[in-house]
Amino acid sequence: MKRINFAIGVHNHQPVGNFDHVFEEAYQKAYLPFLKVHEKYPQIKLAQHYTGILFEWIEKQHPEFIPRLRKMVVRGQVEMMTGGFYEPILITIPDEDKLGQIQALSKYVKQKTSYHATGIWLAERVWEPDLPGPLNRAGIQYSVIDDAHFKYAGLREPQLLGYYITEHQGALLKIFPISEKLRYSMPFRPPEDTIEYLRSIASEDGARLAVFADDGEKFGVWPHTYEQCYENGWLENFFRLLVENADWINIITFSEALQQLPPIGRVYLPTASYREMMEWAMPAQTIHKYEDFDKWLKDNHMPAENRVFVRGGFWRNFLAKYPESNHLHKRMLRGSARLQKLMKGNSDRSLQKARNHVYAAQCNCPYWHGVFGGLYLPNLRFPIYNNLIQADVVMDKIERTANEKKNGWVHAGSMDFDSDAYEELIVESDRMNLFFAPQSGGALFELDYKPRAINLLDTMTRREEGYHRKLRQAIADKDHPAAAVEVASIHDIVVMKEDNLDQYLHFDWYRRSSLIDHFLHPYVTLDAFQKAEYGEQGDFVNQPYQVGTAKKGRAMVVSLKRDGHVWIGDRFVPIRMRKDVTIHPKKDVIEVQYTIVNLDNREAELWFGSESAFALMAGDAPDRYYFSKQAKIKDTRLASLGTLENIQHIGLCDEWLGLKIDLEWDKPAGLWRFPIETVSMSEAGFERVYQCSILMPHWRITLKANKEWKTNLRFLFGKC
């Protein structure tokens, strides 16, 4: 009789900062019901991986779950896997952090389940060839990786029924190829299909091994899978079929496979992740070409195995595709480097707290975007910055002198923060951090308010995404829906959370941040401006500024200056722009003085506006709103759009954060306000997401030849 070995792995994860109700829903619809069904079938052995984030939540909210899981581990029914405690993409973090994160989760798993885990789940299955080194140092013996990785190395389907050895500079690692066929059929196809597939690859010697390993959320959380897996009984039927066919299907754990089966051979894998991830990492227009060519292959009946020769991009290119992702990453690296430096020879116990914050900020989900990646979700970006700022506060207390702690402090320094070959200016104080980009409009692109541990410029620029074509097509086809035959994979579902989402597809030509200097055409409207469908008259928005710093008493003054031009009719008028930003120790205020000089020998009619973004946590919640000391605002929602005239004050309040922001200026101005909302895709479908509120006071100025105009702005922060 032909036989086959079959290894099953399940990966369970929720990101740092995800809503508690999302954790709870996933627990009730996937983690708990899966455990209940699995308990009934002690013959079924499989590997389980819970990230530290999720494990801690379960222990706190449902402590009864842990003893049940431990019992299954002790009787050999469950093998536990380890990984980075906070589920980082390991190749993106320093080696010291790789080791620390893995050791932290391994220790936790051992304490809670009595299992010494030697297998690792790689977050998003992102692989790079030097990973065996740090994994070996962390005591890891094996990992599970998509079979596509092996195919990229030249192996074919019949060669993937087992495991391989790889190494880097002599550091050994065993690697199991995850079957893409099983990943796409379980639980979307009838369980009998999986049994028949296993039968088709079984052999007389029984030495072959088939591997399924994928997200636990697909067994209950993904659309329609709860009904499929539990109400319709897919999971129980699947386990029952495995038991009924136990005479030729040998259910085996990965550790048992290492003991009972020899490796197929040696292989060296290229950089890779799963196929969809590599597609998402490419630019939008390239994704279109990729999709079109893939469709051409299918339409021309090319064998599916040839698709391996059509591979997408490289995970690290998310850092090139999205400046916001690169910003997060470099901010995390900066925090990690500072921590490593402090930890050398320092026994201060609070450093452990800072380390936990840095580790939490390495959670991968907000660093990328596809169907699952959460870069577009403010609630997932917020905790990354929140943890990094809290780590800063802890390290500030260790580094600063007693006098600085008492009286406050502020200092400035230049560095190539984001690794773009240009230096940024970073101003740090006891109350806030400010990051300036002299090379790009002298803009303020990060503003950390330490008392609330929030980056008030944690927003997204609106840009074209590859899937927007799919959205437009779905809207065009909405009158001709196709009938659903079976439960579809999450990658194939098109769901829209509201009608006419295509009307919100506006794309920015500059990065949304603060202190952006605009010169507008006399007939520009708020509607055109907020859609980024207008002509900029000046060359200041994203052009280089000169930068300098000086102490003014105990305060720090950052001076940003540019000699540029503004179109006035057919004249390209030379204009000097200068903005002096003052940051005080012990004060929750930023002062900005604008000076505009007409360098021409003729009078200039200018329309100048200073744009600033404020990234609070919701646009429509009743406890987040605008207010003004001088004007009545009809629609106070932070997601509202509107104008005010002849005012000198506007405020924003976020009662959930307990934060109030007041903007005031000394010359009466008009004010535009509008939200930045992106249209992005998630596992729940296409959705409109509030990113931030834009405020722009603006002035119409008549400036005589060689004369200057000044105004002063103040940003004040306090309790709501």
To the question of domain 504-718 being in CATH 1.10.275.10, the answer is no
Is the sign of the CA dihedral 523, 528, 533, 537 positive or negative? positive
Which has the closest alpha carbon to 218: 248, 183, 249? 183
For residue 364, count CB atoms less than 10 angstroms from its CB and return exposed for 0-12, middle for 13-18, buried for 19 or more: buried
Which has the closest alpha carbon to 86: 119, 53, 111? 53
Going through 452-509 in order, the beta strands assigned E by DSSP cover 454-455
Say how far apart CA 340 and CA 355 lie, in whole Å: 9
Identity (one letter) of the amino acid at 287? I
Residues whose CB falls within 8 Å of the CB of residue 466, separated by 6 or more in sequence, listed in order: 279, 280, 282, 284, 285, 287, 288, 291
Q: What is the pTM (predicted TM-score) of this model? A: 0.94
Radius of gyration of the chain (CA): 28
* Catalytic sites, residue numbers: 124, 215
Tokens representing residue 73 in the block: 């581990």
User: Is residue 602 within 8 Å of residue 570, measured between CB atoms?
Assistant: no
| Extents of the domains making up the chain | 4-271, 504-718
The label of the residue with tokens 């939540």 reads 57
Please tell me the predicted confidence (pLDDT) of residue 141.
98
Say how far apart CA 294 and CA 302 lie, in whole Å: 10
Tokens representing residue 382 in the block: 């917020």
Q: Give the CA distances from residue 165 to residues 162, 268, 526, in Å, rounded to whole numbers and listed in that order.
A: 11, 8, 61
Residues whose CB falls within 8 Å of the CB of residue 156, separated by 6 or more in sequence, listed in order: 305
Residues whose CB falls within 8 Å of the CB of residue 553, separated by 6 or more in sequence, listed in order: none
Please tell me the predicted confidence (pLDDT) of residue 615.
97
CATH of 4-271, one of 3.40.630.10, 3.20.110.20, 3.40.50.300, 3.40.190.10: 3.20.110.20
DSSP 370-429: SSS--TT-HHHHHHHHHHHHHHHHHHHHHHS-HHHHHH--EEEEEE-TTSSSS-EEEEEE
Say how far apart CA 12 and CA 30 lie, in whole Å: 9
Cα atoms found within 13 Å of the Cα of residue 583, Cβ hemisphere only: 25
Q: What is the mean pLDDT of each run of 10 residues along the chain (720 residues)?
A: 97 94 97 98 97 97 97 97 98 97 98 97 96 97 95 93 97 97 95 97 96 97 95 97 97 98 97 92 93 88 79 93 97 97 86 96 95 86 97 95 92 96 97 98 98 97 92 77 46 68 93 97 96 95 97 96 96 97 97 98 96 95 94 95 96 95 97 96 85 98 96 96
Cα–Cα–Cα angle for 302, 304, 309, nearest 5°? 85
117 strand-pairing partners: none
Tokens representing residue 380 in the block: 């997932």
Please tell me the predicted confidence (pLDDT) of residue 580.
98
Say how far apart CA 220 and CA 241 lie, in whole Å: 20
User: Is residue 513 within 8 Å of residue 323, measured between CB atoms?
Assistant: no
User: Is residue 634 within 8 Å of residue 705, measured between CB atoms?
Assistant: no
Please tell me the predicted confidence (pLDDT) of residue 488.
47
Please tell me the predicted confidence (pLDDT) of residue 281.
95
Residues whose CB falls within 8 Å of the CB of residue 95, separated by 6 or more in sequence, listed in order: 133, 134, 137
> Three-state DSSP class for 431?
coil
Say how far apart CA 445 and CA 457 lie, in whole Å: 6
Which has the closest alpha carbon to 442: 434, 450, 454, 430? 434
Within this chain, domains 4-271 and 504-718 share the same CATH topology:
no
